[in-house]
């Protein structure tokens, strides 16, 4: 299954050459499938010229979203190179750590990331460094139109290395094969109802599994149209989505980004009703917040995925009543995903009980680049252990409860922080929140709530705790509250709870 060579851009350049494949919204450039195919071939020729031993070479990027990044990815597929997009939000030191493991032979970077690129040069001093713009265009112009035949990736060929978010420590490089990429696109297109006439807006970074594989690869594999924006701006994104001339049908963002759009001065829910799906992922999305969108008639669709498996779960977007009833759920397993819920005793978790999500199928990574120990630890009997805790209801819908490791035991009872965070989402004066378990002399462990107050709010620790006790069992309510200006997050928006535990160790018990 999914063990064949397929270049969707080359295919659609012949079957629908004049169809718009990609629009760079920031520069006003549009490329048809024929033009995108030709541009990708130019990039492939340039790679062969710059890297005589291009097969297996790692080609890194440190650049904002653009059609040229898509061309670089396609060129890697056509030459046997491995695309390794880097997170431009990281420091030079962090990038040096990643680069030392990936070992890039080439880095393509934007001028604004010159300082960050120094981190890559420190770890890969013999690599070629090409700045986007005039320098990159010169390399493309210098390459013959063809240097050898295109080698279309297939099956088990590793085509992408995605750095994990680092919530569990040192980032790892996830190997993505062509089979994984094809399956992820199939899973996403089926779950989100993406078809040839769809228009997908992408301002999620193309160094992330969502931007590169779920959104961009799916768009191209379906012969649809991709709108690329270099960055997320709430008001600008609202303007794009509500612009009938762009015709956006799908948009994916983190829950925090969705709420920023609702607070934008130009927000009006009416045009959002035209969307086939407004999708969120990457962090828990409280049911009460999801229902706000659904009550406005917007198909707010939650899902769940990861670098190691692409699209895993998704809510079907076509039925508002179902979306309302299942608000808070991440939905049903994607079409090629086999999923188990494994209890702490190693058995199967029953409906309604919490277990760890284990995955199997063609979208699941074969492992981590040059890290056999991490690969062995991640798999058991052929199943990938996600590290995420979930519950399945009687209809087969899954709700992501929390990270498996973030659960703590208070007075002998299991507490999943995400459940407490969902209750806090309805507390007046709370903008953002995070719960972590910490040692407690009486209860073994107890919860600490880190709270970012809403602008102008004057909420107290006692109010926070009383609110939780009014909506949850007493043992689930946090005993301590710490007010902060912002929560530590990874580049993909995931909370870094390890950093919060470290912060608690320094703060103590202020409750103020």
* pLDDT of res. 481: 93
- Determine the Cα–Cα distance for residues 309 and 366; give it in Å rounded to an integer: 10
Q: What angle do CA 150, 41, 200 make, to 5 degrees?
A: 110
* pLDDT of res. 185: 97
* pLDDT of res. 11: 93
Lowest-pLDDT range of 5-9, 129-133, 158-162, 248-252 = 5-9
pLDDT digits over 270-303, tens only? 999 999 999 999 877 888 889 999 999 999 999 9
By C-alpha distance, which of 46, 211, 203 is closest to 135? 46
- Determine the Cα–Cα distance for residues 120 and 108; give it in Å rounded to an integer: 11
Contacts within 8 Å (CB) and 24+ apart, 231-237: 231/64, 231/65, 231/203, 232/203, 232/204, 232/257, 234/260, 234/261, 234/263, 234/264, 235/264, 235/265, 235/266, 237/201, 237/203, 237/261
Only one residue has tokens 């934008």, namely: 264
What percent of the chain shows pLDDT beyond 70?
95
The answer to whether 328 and 290 have CB atoms below 8 angstroms apart is yes
DSSP line for 45-107: HHHHHH-TT-TT-EEEEE--S-HHHHHHHHHHHHHT-EEEE--TTS-HHHHHHHHHHH--SEE
Report, as an integer, the average pLDDT of 410-424. 80
By C-alpha distance, which of 3, 54, 382 is closest to 156? 3
* pLDDT of res. 444: 79
Bigger pLDDT: 215 vs 440? 215
* pLDDT of res. 165: 57
Average pLDDT score over the chain: 90
Only one residue has tokens 């950093």, namely: 499
HEC sequence for 349-412: CCCCCEEEEEEECCCCCCCECCCHHHHHHHEECCEEEEEEEEEECCCCCEEEEEEHHHCEEECC
The answer to whether 481 and 449 have CB atoms below 8 angstroms apart is yes
Res. 251 pLDDT band, cuts 50 70 90: very high
- 3-state class (DSSP) for residue 179: helix
Instruction: Say if residue 512's pLDDT is above 50.
Output: no
The answer to whether 487 and 434 have CB atoms below 8 angstroms apart is yes
Instruction: Say if residue 201's pLDDT is above 60.
Output: yes
- Determine the Cα–Cα distance for residues 253 and 233; give it in Å rounded to an integer: 12
Bigger pLDDT: 405 vs 300? 300
Instruction: Say if residue 405's pLDDT is above 80.
Output: no
* pLDDT of res. 6: 81
The answer to whether 2 and 179 have CB atoms below 8 angstroms apart is yes
DSSP single-letter state for residue 210 = I
* pLDDT of res. 4: 66
- Determine the Cα–Cα distance for residues 113 and 131; give it in Å rounded to an integer: 10
Only one residue has tokens 């961009």, namely: 216
Report, as an integer, the average pLDDT of 301-317. 96
- Determine the Cα–Cα distance for residues 339 and 336; give it in Å rounded to an integer: 10
Lowest-pLDDT range of 121-125, 253-257, 293-297 = 121-125
Structure tokens that stand for 167 in this block: 């919530």
**Per-residue exposure over 439-466, b if at least 16 CB sit within 10 Å of its own CB, e if not:** ebeebeebbbbbbbbeeeeebebeebbe
Identify the burial level of 231 via C-beta atoms within 10 angstroms of its C-beta, where 0-12 means exposed, 13-18 middle and 19 or more buried: exposed
Identify the burial level of 30 via C-beta atoms within 10 angstroms of its C-beta, where 0-12 means exposed, 13-18 middle and 19 or more buried: middle
* pLDDT of res. 143: 87
- Determine the Cα–Cα distance for residues 220 and 209; give it in Å rounded to an integer: 15
Bigger pLDDT: 412 vs 475? 475
DSSP single-letter state for residue 291 = H
Lowest-pLDDT range of 323-327, 374-378, 413-417, 474-478 = 413-417
Query: Which residues partner with 398 through β-bridges?
Result: 331, 392
- Determine the Cα–Cα distance for residues 333 and 360; give it in Å rounded to an integer: 11
Structure tokens that stand for 404 in this block: 């498996």
- Determine the Cα–Cα distance for residues 104 and 124; give it in Å rounded to an integer: 7
pLDDT digits over 139-188, tens only? 999 988 665 556 678 889 999 999 985 544 567 899 999 999 999 999 99
> Sheet holding 173-177: strands in order across?
128-131, 106-109, 58-62, 82-85, 158-163, 173-177
pLDDT digits over 477-510, tens only? 899 999 999 998 865 567 788 889 888 987 765 4
By C-alpha distance, which of 183, 168, 187 is closest to 378? 168
What's the whole-model pTM score? Answer: 0.84
Only one residue has tokens 């650049």, namely: 63
CB atoms within 10 A of CB 509: 12
* Alpha-carbon Rg for the chain in angstroms: 23
Residues 6+ apart with CB under 8 A from 316: 191, 193, 301, 322, 331, 332
* pLDDT of res. 506: 79
* pLDDT of res. 126: 84
* pLDDT of res. 146: 60
């Amino acid at each position: 299954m999914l063990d064949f060579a397929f270049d969707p851009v080359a295919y659609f350049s012949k079957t629908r050459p004049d169809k718009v494949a990609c629009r760079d919204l920031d520069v006003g450039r549009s490329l048809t499938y024929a033009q995108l195919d030709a541009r990708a071939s130019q990039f492939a020729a340039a790679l062969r010229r710059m890297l005589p031993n291009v097969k297996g070479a790692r080609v890194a990027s440190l650049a904002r979203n653009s059609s040229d990044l898509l061309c670089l990815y396609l060129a890697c597929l056509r030459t046997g190179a491995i695309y390794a997009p880097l997170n431009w939000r990281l420091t030079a030191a962090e990038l040096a750590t990643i680069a030392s493991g990936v070992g890039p032979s080439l880095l393509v970077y934007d001028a604004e990331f010159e300082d960050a690129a120094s981190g890559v040069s420190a770890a890969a001093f013999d690599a070629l460094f090409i700045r986007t713009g005039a320098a990159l265009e010169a390399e493309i112009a210098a390459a013959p139109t063809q240097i050898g035949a295109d080698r279309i990736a297939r099956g088990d060929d590793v085509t992408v290395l995605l750095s994990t978010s680092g919530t569990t420590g040192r980032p790892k490089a996830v190997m993505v094969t062509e089979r994984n990429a094809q399956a992820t696109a199939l899973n996403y297109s089926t779950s989100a109802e993406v078809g040839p006439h769809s228009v997908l807006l992408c301002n999620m970074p193309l160094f992330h599994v969502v931007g590169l594989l779920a959104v961009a690869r799916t768009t191209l594999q379906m012969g649809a149209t991709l709108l690329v924006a270099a960055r997320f701006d709430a008001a600008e994104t609202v303007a794009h989505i509500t612009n009938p001339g762009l015709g956006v049908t799908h948009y994916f963002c983190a829950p925090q980004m969705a709420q920023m759009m609702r607070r934008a001065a130009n927000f009006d829910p009416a045009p959002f009703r035209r969307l086939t799906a407004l999708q969120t992922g990457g962090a828990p999305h409280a049911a009460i917040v999801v229902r706000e969108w659904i009550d406005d008639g917007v198909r707010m669709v939650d899902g769940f995925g990861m670098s190691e498996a692409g699209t895993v779960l998704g809510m079907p977007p076509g039925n508002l009543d179902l979306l309302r009833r299942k608000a808070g759920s991440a939905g049903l397993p994607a079409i090629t995903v086999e999923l188990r819920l494994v209890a702490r005793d190693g058995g199967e978790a029953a409906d309604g009980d919490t277990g760890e999500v284990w995955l199997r199928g063609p979208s699941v990574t074969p492992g981590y680049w040059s890290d056999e120990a991490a690969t062995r630890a991640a798999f058991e009997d052929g199943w990938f252990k996600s590290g995420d805790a979930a519950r399945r209801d009687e209809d087969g819908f899954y709700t992501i409860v929390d990270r498996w490791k973030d659960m703590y035991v208070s007075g002998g009872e299991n507490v999943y922080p995400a459940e407490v965070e969902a209750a806090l989402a309805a507390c007046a004066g709370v903008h953002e929140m995070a719960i972590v378990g910490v040692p407690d002399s009486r209860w073994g462990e107890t919860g600490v709530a880190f709270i970012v107050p809403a602008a102008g709010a004057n909420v107290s620790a006692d109010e926070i705790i009383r609110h939780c006790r009014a909506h949850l069992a007493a043992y689930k309510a946090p005993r301590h509250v710490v007010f902060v200006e912002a929560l530590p997050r990874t580049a993909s928006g995931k909370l870094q709870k390890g950093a919060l535990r470290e912060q608690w160790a320094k703060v103590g018990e202020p409750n103020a």
